Amino acid sequence: MKKIATLLTLLLLLPALAAGCGSSAIKEESTDETVEEDLITVGFSQLGAESDWRNTNTISMQEAFTRENGFNLVYKNGQQKQANQITAVRMFIQQGVDYIVLAPATETGWESVLTEARDAGIPVILVDRRVDVADKTLFSCWVGSDFELESKKMTEWLRKLTEVRNISPEELHIVNIQGTMGSTAQIGRTRGLANAARENGWDLITEVSGDFTENKGREVMAAMLKGYDNINVVYCENDNMAIGAIDALEAAGKRVGPNIKNGEVMVVSFDGVNEKSLEYCREGKISCIAECNPLHGPRVRALIEALDKGETPETFNYVDEKIFSSLNTVKSVTVDGIEYAVEEP
């Protein structure tokens, strides 16, 4: 029997259109105080709207949890602030929602509020990023990407490309524009690059956070160019930052492309959602993109439906992801014994 609660649907305004999503748009709904016992009520705390990936992820969740599918979605945008998300989760608990879906801003600092949700008997499903808690029973399951695997694919692609083009490891001078510090994506993608740089003998010059935003990516890249004159690879932990970095590189008179030996600066990135970044990949301005699949809605809905039937789904549920490049030099990469085809963007 579902909890009966008067529902106040709070939706914050987000950009009307997410790139790569056709006509789909993040939905605003008016306040709805109707009690509908036959619907499963889901409280969704999204961390924000900092990127095209995030907006696409939000749309996927909204399209999955419709009344037509048997759900009432209570959505809250955290605006990149963990405090806002904690407030939202407590609001969901007070409303007596059936399930809480949380896309956490960072990994730490969730023990208290997740304990409150468990004590209230409300299962929590994590999406995208994880939480660092000692008690793993504070959440039911997680859906998202293997961010370190994404990085392993990217760095193996870079290793193979430079090997084929007779570029020695010591010729690579790499800077990393990181995502939001402490987020699962940043941790995995940063760790993957650091490990590869150490194993291959690459020069990892510096790492600075761009907060997953285009403007900060532009700002960080401009500052790096003032501090270092030998950068030839820019590793961006998402597409929006890559677009900003390319703007800064071109404004500084740099040629962006894969031909390091002829003085170009190679840019690589993650996500594969933003249409401009995919066009840049087709043009060669972005040499490679490791996909990060944002379409979590259907998988999360299936998990909630399973939980609602009393089933126990897998704790960790990974989405399938690809790797893209318009360069035909590297046809595939092999990571941990598994081969991944490099596809056209």
Residue 70 has pLDDT above 80, yes or no: yes
Q: Of 81, 123, 84, 86, nearest to 101 (Cα)? A: 123
List pLDDT tens digits, range 291-345: 999 999 999 999 999 999 999 999 999 999 999 999 999 999 999 999 999 999 9
Q: pLDDT confidence of 195, banded at 50, 70, 90?
A: very high
Compare 334 and 1 and report the one with higher pLDDT. 334
**In angstroms, rounded to a whole number, what is the distance separating the alpha carbons of residues 4 and 6?**
7
What residues contact residue 232 under an 8 Å CB cut-off, 6+ apart? 171, 172, 173, 174, 260, 264, 265, 266
Residue 21 has pLDDT above 80, yes or no: no
**Within a 10 A sphere around the Cβ of 171, how many other Cβ atoms?**
15
State the average pLDDT over residues 275-279. 96
List pLDDT tens digits, range 223-271: 999 999 999 999 999 999 999 999 999 999 999 999 999 999 999 999 9
Residue with tokens 């933003």: 274
Query: At 86, which helix (H) or strand (E)?
Result: helix 82-95
* Region for residue 298 given its phi and psi (left: phi exceeds 0; alpha: psi -120 to 50; beta: otherwise): alpha
Asked if residues 249 and 286 have their Cβ atoms less than 8 Å apart, the reply is no
